[in-house]
């Protein structure tokens, strides 16, 4: 977990938890800037990568996510005063056996190139 961190690189890690284990986020980033997550394998019963409020300039690349809920961004609007999430790049990620954890009430995305 990174919370309030700057310029962190996570590379080549393997995070595992039983596929039926709740609340086992693989990597959680919040209130951090300049975080890079590379070349890693994550398998949990919750989010492979969760991105919390106040996260900016996050780069995620070459990740294997199996099983789990994939990648979650934000906190589903639990707190209206929370800082947003900005400038997230995700490249070359493989999802296997992932599913939607719960619905979202909606949100706002800007500058979302595909």
Question: Can you say whether the dihedral through the CA atoms of 33, 109, 24, 69 is positive or negative?
Answer: negative
Active-site entry in 2, 46, 69, 72: 69
Residue 42: which of 9, 71, 64, 70 has the closest Cα? Answer: 64
Tell me the C-alpha distance between 28 and 10, whole Å. Answer: 12
Q: Which two tokens stand for residue 64?
A: 């294997």
Let me know if 28 is a catalytic residue. Answer: no
Tell me the C-alpha distance between 34 and 67, whole Å. Answer: 27
Alpha helices in the chain (DSSP H): none
Point out the residues that are catalytic. Answer: 69
């Amino acid at each position: 977990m990174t919370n309030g961190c700057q310029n962190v690189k996570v590379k080549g890690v393997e995070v595992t938890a039983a596929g039926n284990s709740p609340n086992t986020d693989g990597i959680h980033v919040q209130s951090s800037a300049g975080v890079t997550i590379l070349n890693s394998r994550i398998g949990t019963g919750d989010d492979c990568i969760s991105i919390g409020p106040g996260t900016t300039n996050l780069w995620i690349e070459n990740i294997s996510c199996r099983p789990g809920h994939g990648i979650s961004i934000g906190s589903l609007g639990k707190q209206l005063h929370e800082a947003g999430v900005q400038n997230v790049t995700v490249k070359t990620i493989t999802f296997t056996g992932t599913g939607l954890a719960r619905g979202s009430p909606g949100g706002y995305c800007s500058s979302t190139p595909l």
